[in-house]
A and B are shown apart, each in its own frame.
Chain A
Amino acid sequence: MIAVQHVSKHYGHHRALDDVTFHVKKGEILAFLGPNGAGKTTTMRILTCFMPQSEGSATVAGFDCLDQPTDVKRHLGYLPEIPPLYPELTVDEYLTFVGRLKRLTPQRLASRTSHVIDQVGLGHVHHRVIGHLSKGFRQRVGLAQALIHDPPVLILDEPTVGLDPKQIIEIRELIKSLAGSHTIILSTHILPEAMAICDRVVIIHEGRIVAEDAPDRLSSRLRRSEKMSLTVKQPQPDWLERLGTLPGVLNVLPAATPNTCTVDCELGKDLREKLSQFVVSRGYGLLELKPLSLSLEEVFLQLTHQEEDAGPGEFDHHDSSEQPPA
């Protein structure tokens, strides 16, 4: 549905995007993740034909963004980072205006307007002037604007920013409910959001894609060892060294409290049973043993930092099949 091939964008000497390639299948939700200034908005602006790319090609719904911008614009709904609203219009007037801009017929416009008003929960404010609405409602009007012509492709730039937790959950539920019938790209720097609603995550940093995979697989593929957190009741002075002698254990690190430690085990081996037997047989008093998985935050920090340390290329794997399964 969306294909981006080797797209670059320069602003003078500054490279905002550098050889970005990714695809989104029909009905999929893709999250664009990255620190501020990474190139998320630039990519979205290229896909929405707001600005042309410097190199490469981008197609949306089978239409080229450079050659057939009108067709592309007809097939997508776009919610920019700041919702494009006219404060002096009422919600109804505004949605009618956008619907007409998107070339809806009068009959279709009436039914679509009432439908999206229900869909995004604007029922009791639809006659109010947008300038008097709260931030949460404005965000919803912005979303309604993107949905008004029922486009097959939705591009949402930070759709939940500035909302309260309840509204965030509602908007996420709404976006999830749109998947399947719509192809969605959303950008965010809130990692749990990407975890919660997306099928696939693209992590972008300084204009380059540094990782692309399903959220849960991203954390597993970056692990070089299985990590366990171990808490005991009565640690002996040399218990860390003794743990380190167990076969399969790579490293033992002391944690925040003296009776807790982190055990690094070889990848693919589950040492929980051996560890527990060992601890119990030595009389340390086993309190807790749990596997640690990298949160998406850690994955993200690791990727964006190692990228800087290791130089380009090391994490530039777009093909998830290279990686061991989770």
Chain B
Amino acid sequence: MTPFQTILAKELRCFFVSPILYVVGAVFLFISGLIAHLMTVNAGQQAVRFLQVQNTYAQLNLNELVFRSLFYSLDFVLMFLLPILTMRLFAEERKLHTFELLLTSPVGINELISAKYMSVLVIYLGLLSLTSLTPIILSLYASFHWHPILTGYVALAFQGGLFLACGLLASATTENQVVAAFLSFGMILLIWLLGGLGSLLGDTTIGTVLSYLSFTEHYDRLVRGLLEAKDIVYYLSGIVLMLFIAHRVVDSHRWS
């Protein structure tokens, strides 16, 4: 086994024996199920209203009524939940003094960070894949377009990936897990609010730059079914930047 695989396996093992994963997973799946349920009931009521008013079956746009709202709500849920998942990554190693073991073993910081990031990404994508039950079950009773749903999942995967990278960076800066969670939550919120600030400034250069830096417009495009390279580049470069800063932070502990 390479050091990457070794650390990845150990991280996954630690996730599965700690209560954090089960609590975060249960809350995430419960909320996503509840939202999907509410949206579907809402769509059903609209169908009934159509039937009463027009006396015909109207073709409801489920993509619009159910899934887009679901993806926007889930984005919000992830902002709160993913920092809980990432807070222990490095903070715990420093608290337990196992950081010294890792850094005095023949393992590069690159391998360390990529394995840790990969572990939370695997956990998150696993949880996310469980929410696909909603479109699968719904497809048995109704028809809708799959394409925007797939790009919606791509959006959620990248969005979550970015949040996890922010969380990993926050965790690398402190040995207190609560501080790490709040720090990553703050970072995510800040990136989100940049979008609001950007749209406030409108079409000026600063406005455009701020809107680009925020994930809002990129996420929006993907959820609406537009799969464009620039959005993928945005997410990938954001993730790489966060992990690179985390690398510098971990390395700098050795010098202080």
**Interface residue? B202 (CB, 8 A):** no
> B108 → chain A, closest Cβ, in Å?
8
Given contacts A50-B254, A100-B6, contact A89 B104 (CB under 8 A): no
Contact: B1 with A80, CB < 8 Å? no
Contact: A103 with B106, CB < 8 Å? yes
Contact: A51 with B254, CB < 8 Å? yes
**Interface residue? A73 (CB, 8 A):** yes
- 8 Å CB interface, A83-120 against B: 83-89, 93, 97-98, 100-103, 106
Alpha-carbon distance A44/B99, docked complex (angstroms): 15
**Interface residue? B103 (CB, 8 A):** yes
| Main secondary structure on B side of the interface with A | helix
**Interface residue? B3 (CB, 8 A):** yes
> B29 → chain A, closest Cβ, in Å?
23
Chain A residues, CB < 8 A from B256? 11
Alpha-carbon distance A82/B98, docked complex (angstroms): 9
Of the four ranges (under 10, 10 to 19, 20 to 34, 35 or more), the interface on chain B belongs to: 20 to 34
Number of interface residues of A (CB under 8 A): 30
Interface centre among A73, A82, A89, A101, by most B CB within 10 Å? A101
Given contacts A74-B106, A101-B6, contact A145 B17 (CB under 8 A): no
Interface centre among A50, A70, A74, by most B CB within 10 Å? A50
Alpha-carbon distance A26/B256, docked complex (angstroms): 32
**Interface residue? A49 (CB, 8 A):** yes
Q: B9, B13, B17, B100: which contacts A50 (Cβ < 8 A)?
A: B100
Contact: A73 with B96, CB < 8 Å? no
Q: B17, B97, B99, B102: which contacts A101 (Cβ < 8 A)?
A: B102
Q: A51, A80, A103: which contacts B97 (Cβ < 8 A)?
A: A80
Given contacts A82-B97, A88-B18, A101-B6, contact A48 B106 (CB under 8 A): no
Q: Could you write out 11 A-B pairs with CB less than 8 Å apart?
A: A45-B100, A78-B101, A83-B97, A84-B96, A84-B100, A88-B17, A89-B13, A89-B14, A98-B101, A100-B3, A101-B107
Residues of B at the A interface (CB closer than 8 Å) are: 1, 3, 6-7, 9-10, 13-14, 17-18, 96-107, 254-256
